[in-house]
Each structure stands twice: as C-alpha cells, then as structure tokens.
Amino acid sequence: MTHRFDPTSLREYDIRGIVGQTLGPDDARAIGRGFATLLRRAGGTRVAVGRDGRLSSPALEEALIDGLTKSGCSVVRTGMGPTPMLYYAEATLEVDGGIQITGSHNPGHYNGFKMVFQHASFFGEQIQLLGRMAAEGDWDEGDGSETVTDADVEDLYVGRLIAGYAGGAYRVGWDTGNGAAGPVVEKLVKLLPGEHHTLFTDVDGNFPNHHPDPTDEKNLADLKRLVAEKQLDFGLAFDGDGDRLGAIDGQGRVIWGDQLLSILAEPVLRVEPGATIIADVKASQMLFDRVAELGGKPLMWKTGHSLVKTKMKETHAPLAGEMSGHIFFAQDYYGFDDAQYAAIRLIQAIHVIGKSLTELRDAMPRLVNTPEMRFQVDESRKFAVVDEVLDRLEAEGADVDRTDGARVNTADGWWLLRASNTQDVLVARAEAGDQAGLDRLLAQIDDQLAKSGLVRGETVAH
C-alpha cells in the first residue's frame, strides 16, 4: 500500500493544507504510518495526539490514530486544546513523540499537523521523508499490542502555567478568537489575581467573530474596544492554536512580537546575566540593541518555530521569539512556543519592571517600519532571486547579514528580503528612523527586485 501527498502540504515546519482539496483522512493515516515507523525504528513506542477546535479535526484525529497503531505505536489522546498543551503532554507524559492536529492561524477550511519526535522538533527533511516513505509504502506493521488511551491533561497544564506565578493584580482583556486556547484561558484567569474579561473563549471552528491571527491588527478590533470600554490595563490575544501571542497596551496600541520580547528579556536577564536571547531576522534593531543594553547577547536567527527551538537548545538560550508572536521560554519552562505561558510571563515582567505596559510602550524608540510584505513569485525563482540580490549587494560592498535571506543595514536603517519556506512568496520588511528614510529603503528593495525582473506586488495572505 502506498500514498502520495499533495506536494504543497509538506511544508518546512509542519504539514498543512485545505481539507478536501490538498489534505484529508488518507493523508492523516499516511502521516501516522510514517511517523510511527520512524519512531519504532528509533526505539520509541508511544505517541501523544491532540487536536484543535476545527470542524475537520476529529476525523483527521481518527485517521491519524489508525495509521499510528497500524504501524505499531500506542497512542495517548490528550483531546482538544492548544498546541502547547500537546507539547506539554509530550514533555511530561511517558511518550516518545507527539502530534497536534491543527490549522494554526489559517482560515477554518485549513488543517494540518505539528509534530515532536523524541522531545525535538520534527521538520524540514524529516517531513519530506514522510512523503517518500508513503510513496514507497515503507511502513512497519504493528504486532497487535498497541493501545489507545485518554489522558486528561488540561488541568495539569493550567496548573503548570500558573506554577510559581509572582506577578501583580492587573485588569486584563483576553481574546482567544474562538480558537483552541479558550477553555484553558477561562481556567487560567480564575486562578490569577486582578480583574479579567474574556472574549470569544467558546471554541468554534467557523471562527465567527474574527480570524484567529493576532499579528493582523484588524483582528484586534474587538479587544481594543473591550480595553477602551472597561479602561483595562492591557489586552492579550491568541491565535487559533494558542502558540502565538498578541498584545495591546492600555491605549490600544499593538505591542508587536519583537517589542514583547524586549520587555520579557529584562527579568530573564536579571536571573541569567549575559544569556543569549534569540530573535528572527524580521525583528527590529531596537530589540537587539535593547538586549545588549540589558547585558544579554542578542542573536539574530532564521524565521521558523522549529529552527528557533533547535537554535535555543544549541545555544542554551533562556528566551527566544519571532515577529509572528511565537515566544519560547527555556528559563523555568520547556523551550517550546506557548502563548498562554508567555502571557503569564508578560504579566510577571510588567510587575517586576514596575511600569505599566503603556509606560513601557511609551519608552520604546520611535521608529517607522513596514508590516511584513509578502508577494507572489514563482516557486522555482524565489530562492534564486534572493541569491541574485545577495551577489549584487556583495559586489557593491553593502553591509549585509545572510542569516536568512538578505538583511541590509544602511545609514537610514535596515531592509530585509527573504524567501518564505512555506509559500511561493518573497517576504520583505524595512525599518527607519523617519518616513523619508523608509522611502529610501523601499526604493532599494524595488531596485533590487527590478534587476531580477520582479516588481514588489500586492501583499498576499499567509
């Protein structure tokens, strides 16, 4: 028996597609068979399986478990919850791997799979290997001893989130956007001091109120309204599977991922002076300067949660983050991206620093920057274009960081051009001290694209 995946579903960091078009139960079964086969060959036998609140998740879960058991692994179902709850289960239960069925922050008709293999990220070449194994039918057969059991980990997870909490009492708004984090957040706020107001914590895979992606400011409109009406101290927002955090201050201003990291870094570095703090190449120069100012070692790294987690282990970094709102704590935690835990640590950080989130936002450098600009390019050209740009910049003697694409430093600020690992798009971003400087940076991006026969087109969704 063999299986062929739609090639667009096998991505760099996970497997994801449109249910009924590029992803379905047969794919889930094949993922289970391949993952279990690899795990058995590595000496493992048990897999934790969780799912988000999408309408298609139960059917995909059933097929995934069928595949896992057919190839010889026992399964521990952790039920519906945020992706970090599955990561927590994988880290604390007697299992050898974990799979979360989730479409993350994508629209409701998407779904997918995030995987952990023997306590490490499962990504890149490993995902491509699942595809090759399926095409060849290279799957082990089970011996009939496999079991499927249930583990109620939600209360344990909430207890771990709150363990050791030493923050103050604040008035906070929470918006889980009908995503999988809702029930966990409802339990969490009952254990926190202060006054808490929640929005859209009922799980609904149709996402009837707004799209579950806090990095798009229009999705924060309801939270801004709540914070303004109730005069709250700040608001917190979560994506569809609870692994990315968004925040606004008391005035409704967005605190972006790199700005959150600059706040979270301060108490971390008080405990671990000189520690490495990692951020992806899309982060503001403000963050790297702030980490250095606090006595830490700023490290710019590639975008992608699996890549960041791997680098954290290598450098023993206690904290890392991405512009997209993935925040990773290894200090007093497990090193995976967990928006619920990051929210708790943010509340603690505000308390430890002794200023309101609004005051902390006021104190940040006033810079002018673009949002993440994503534009379509042929898959066969996306990496080649970046290489061409790098070659030209090198010939011109430009100040370029090649960590992930081209990040170019100039007297005005910096600009970035990189190829997405998950879509046929190029990603660009720029930041300057004023609008005139930003315009000059954007002109440089346009010039480089033109020399490679491209125009910076309409920004596409992701």
Residue given tokens 């910049």 in the structure block? 393
Residues 266 and 284 in one domain: yes
Residue given tokens 């604390």 in the structure block? 92
- pLDDT at position 457: 67
The last residue of a domain, from among 362, 392, 416? 362
Look up the CATH number of the domain holding residue 329.
Answer: 3.40.120.10
- pLDDT at position 375: 87
Structure tokens, 38: 């690899």
From 9, 56, 74, 104, active-site residue: 104
- pLDDT at position 12: 86
Domain count, the chain: 3
What's the burial of 190, exposed, middle or buried (CB within 10 Å: 0-12/13-18/19+)? Answer: exposed
Residues 169 and 129 in one domain: no
- pLDDT at position 371: 86
CA distance 164 to 187: 16
Rg of the chain over all Cα atoms, to the nearest angstrom: 22
- pLDDT at position 16: 94
Residues 12 and 160 in one domain: no
Residue 1 lies in a domain: no
* Model pTM score: 0.95
- pLDDT at position 458: 55
Q: Does residue 74 have an active-site annotation?
A: no
Residue 282 lies in a domain: yes
Query: Which residue numbers in the chain have pLDDT < 70?
Result: 457-462
The last residue of a domain, from among 362, 396, 418? 362
Determine contact, residues 64/31, Cβ cutoff 8 Å: yes
Domain that holds residue 200: 156-362
